[in-house]
Amino acid sequence: MEPKDYILTEIQGEYATLKNVQNGNEVFIALSLLPSGADIGSKVHWECFAYTLAE
């Protein structure tokens, strides 16, 4: 799987909605999978089955 970049668009309880920067698709994931400090508007990078805050 190739690396992907997302924008965190919404937090609902213990879940987050991420919007793919390249194609606009949205994914709904557990908030616990995201790095600490992630908040609405954060850019998140996914690679090797792990999320990190992107610059």
Over the chain, what is the mean pLDDT?
A: 96
CA contacts within 13 A on the Cβ side of 50:
5
Q: Could you tell me how far CA 10 lies from the centroid of its own chain?
A: 10
DSSP 8-state symbol, 34: S
User: How far apart, in whole angstroms, are the C-alpha atoms of residue 50 and residue 45?
Assistant: 8
What is the tens place of the pLDDT at every residue in 10-40? 999 999 999 999 999 999 999 999 999 999 9
Which CATH architecture group holds 4-53?
Beta Barrel (2.40)
Is pLDDT above 80 for 55? no
Domain ranges of the chain: 4-53
Q: Are strands 26-30 and 4-12 parallel, antiparallel or unpaired?
A: unpaired
| Global confidence as pTM | 0.91
Residues sharing a CB contact under 8 Å with residue 23, sequence separation 6 or more, in sequence order: none
